[in-house]
Amino acid sequence: MKIELGAKNCLYPLPITLIGANVSGKPNYATVAFVGIVGRDSISVSMNKARYTNSGIKENKTFSVSIPSVEMAKETDYCGLVSGKDVDKAKLFETFYGKLATAPMAKECPINMECRLIQTVDFARGEVFIGEIVETYVSEQYLAEGLVDFAKVHPILFVMEGRGYWRLGDRFANAWEIGEELKSR
């Protein structure tokens, strides 16, 4: 039997990200799980309008999306608990800049994606920043034969139900392949 839950968002799990932006010329990091892929090279980042990071993204038209590992869960969670208005969160990480020069990235994250802001979608309580990826950086130890090995990355997965952080499990099948056998039916 199906139970109605009201209009409850259950699109989970989503990967926890650290969104990097320069605000008033200083690097800042915000923890965001309301993200998605919009087109092959683009990412959407949905943020409450009140957040400190938004002004930096608008000012520079650049930001970064980084994938922290489970080993960085405390620091990552902390970046979602305090505002850059009050605390210098850049102290937690070693910051580096890439091609765009104004999108700070935390070196400790296995994966960093440098983005150019291409569109902003206005919502009632929030705004959605759509960024086109300009360059992707990965720490050497997470690469295997030219591909990023997510079993090594240990991304932090977020599920709003029960407000939990989860690990990635094992790889069990090939996409665009295991459904092939149903074609003959």
Q: Give me the amino acid identity at 107.
A: K
Q: Could you tell me the smallest distance in angstroms from the CB atom of residue 47 to a copy of itself?
A: 10
Nearer to a copy of itself, 25 or 149 (CB): 149
Taking the CA atoms of 37, 38, 40 and 41 in sequence, report the sign of the dihedral they define.
Answer: negative
Q: Could you tell me the smallest distance in angstroms from the CB atom of residue 63 to a copy of itself?
A: 13
Nearer to a copy of itself, 39 or 85 (CB): 39
Nearer to a copy of itself, 55 or 139 (CB): 139
Among 24, 50, 119, 152, binds a copy of itself (CB under 8 A): 119
Check binding of 86 to a copy of itself (CB under 8 A): no
Among 88, 93, 103, 174, binds a copy of itself (CB under 8 A): 174
Per CB under 8 A, contacts with a copy of itself among 133-152 are 133-140, 143, 147-150
10 Å CB burial of residue 178 (0-12, 13-18, 19+) is exposed
Per CB under 8 A, contacts with a copy of itself among 11-70 are 11-15, 17, 33-44, 46, 65, 67, 70
Check binding of 100 to a copy of itself (CB under 8 A): no
Using an 8 Å Cβ cutoff, are 138 and 55 in contact? no
CA angle 67, 116, 17 (to 5 degrees): 15
3-state secondary structure (DSSP) of residue 96: strand
- Pair type for strands 17-23 and 95-96: unpaired
Q: Which residues make beta-bridge pairs with 143?
A: 148
Residues in the chain, how many?
A: 185
Nearer to a copy of itself, 25 or 171 (CB): 171
**What's the rounded Cα separation, in Å, for the pair 70 and 180?**
35
Nearer to a copy of itself, 22 or 129 (CB): 129
